[in-house]
Structure 1
Amino acid sequence: MSRYCEQCGKAKKACICSWIEVIDAKTELLILQHPSEVKRAIGTARILTLSLPNAKLFVGEDFSEHYELNVLLNDPMRDVYLIYPGEGAIPVSELTDSVVTKEKIRTLILLDGTWKKAYKMWQLSGNLHQLPTVSLDNAEQGNYRIRKSPKEQGVSTVEAGYLALSALEGDSNKFEPLLNVFSRMIEYQIRQMPEGVFERNYK
């Protein structure tokens, strides 16, 4: 008998499924997950795929030849954007409905991994280089209290999804359940730490 939940992939005692609320988003999310994130107890990508019916997750490092992703990228009925900071990135606050043809599916790609691994994924995946990039200009300090980020405004994958969807669809309350699950997951992990570990290492 498996120790892991078949739905969320986490240990059964840390299962997040009972906290999930299904949200009807107009925007499609494609999550490209680095293999090192698959078994990570504090990974957040699964919150998005469980909560959003039109979110898909693919695992890999080099997606250049990824058949299913390339089919989606080459679909003329999709407008695809990569959430990735850098020179020339469009602030998400400027990516309004006026930018997207009404008949097309608006699709956002998230890279799920550390900054270093996400950068390597982008470097290796030449099919992503043709995409317009989007920066999260609405991001403040993330709530990923048990995972350090080298970026002052570094956010988790689920926070990035929440910020992007809230900006594009103009309704942060609608997507608040994503953060609620994230917060409860973090609180659970903190409670499992030996006394004093969180205070010494993360505060």
Structure 2
Amino acid sequence: MNEPLVITTPCRQCGFIHNCYCATIPAINSDLMVTLLTHPNELSRSTNTGKIVKRLLPCTHIEPWERKAPPPEYMTSGKTPVLVFPSPSSIPLAEWQQQHPEPSHFIVLDATWQEAKKMLNRSQWLQTLPQVCIEAAEASQYQLRRNQQSGNLCTFEVVTQLVHEVESKNTAQDMRVFFGDYLQRYQAERCGHAR
């Protein structure tokens, strides 16, 4: 006896067929201004976590990286742009906030770590920005890509840590719980079954 063919369609919002996560997205109230400067290769990766940040945080902008030109919000936000990137010239975010109590416009490089380093090295305008580093509250949960180095965070985790340090530890915890659930759903979806 043949099994009936089951045709399922992906969710219009998240694209998942078996493990839609839309109903699990926490209601988050945040004024944190973040621009995800996205490498062209990242736009087509199913493992990209920047698109999830955009669904959770309303003040997030996703902009394609251009080597010679900053994104429009960078010029018009009225907030001091700050690059979130660990480098010898970056200072801890807490120190930055003590020196600059006004709200900042955080720029996060949405790419693999290798691509992010190239983005910074190839963009003179990025190199002129003040740079801050964050201190991860916990180890990365992200295991969707190979060759992850210890201590590195994915884009979603970087923004979650920004929320933790700048706005609300409780909101950041809600984001971490959601992300853990999302990762389980993603793995099940990739295997073609419900979790």
Superposition TM-score, scaled by structure 1 size: 0.78
Partner of 1:99: 100
Give the Cα separation in 2 of the matches to 1:34 and 1:4.
Answer: 26
Q: What are the within-5 Å matches in structure 2 for residues 129-140 of structure 1? A: 129-140=127-138
Give the Cα separation in 1 of the matches to 2:81 and 2:159.
Answer: 15
Ranges in structure 1 where 5+ consecutive residues have no aligned partner: 195-203
Q: How many residues align?
A: 184
Partner of 2:3: none
Match of 1:50, SS?
helix
Give the Cα separation in 1 of the matches to 2:90 and 2:104.
Answer: 17
Asked whether the equivalents of residues 24 and 52 of structure 1 are also in contact (C-alpha less than 8 Å), the reply is: yes
Alpha-carbon distance, 1:178 to partner? 2.1
Partner of 2:118: 120
Structure 1: which amino acid aligns with 2:87?
G
Partner of 2:85: 84
Asked whether the equivalents of residues 142 and 153 of structure 1 are also in contact (C-alpha less than 8 Å), the reply is: yes
Give the Cα separation in 2 of the matches to 1:11 and 1:87.
Answer: 40
Cα distance per residue 1:132-190 (max 9 Å; x no partner): 11111235421112324543111111110010121112x21123232223212211233
Give the Cα separation in 2 of the matches to 1:39 and 1:5.
Answer: 18
Give the Cα separation in 2 of the matches to 1:43 and 1:76.
Answer: 25
Give the Cα separation in 2 of the matches to 1:136 and 1:190.
Answer: 28
Cα-Cα RMSD: 2.5
Ranges in structure 2 where 5+ consecutive residues have no aligned partner: 1-8
Which of 13, 33, 36 is 1:7 aligned to? 13
Asked whether the equivalents of residues 97 and 168 of structure 1 are also in contact (C-alpha less than 8 Å), the reply is: no
Give the Cα separation in 2 of the matches to 1:100 and 1:64.
Answer: 30
How high is the sequence identity, in percent, across the aligned residues? 23
Asked whether the equivalents of residues 29 and 57 of structure 2 are also in contact (C-alpha less than 8 Å), the reply is: yes
Give the Cα separation in 1 of the matches to 2:20 and 2:98.
Answer: 36
The alignment status of 1:36 with 2:41, answered yes or no, reads: yes
| 1:81 to 1:42, Cα distance in 2 relative to 1, 3 A | same
Superposition TM-score, scaled by structure 2 size: 0.81
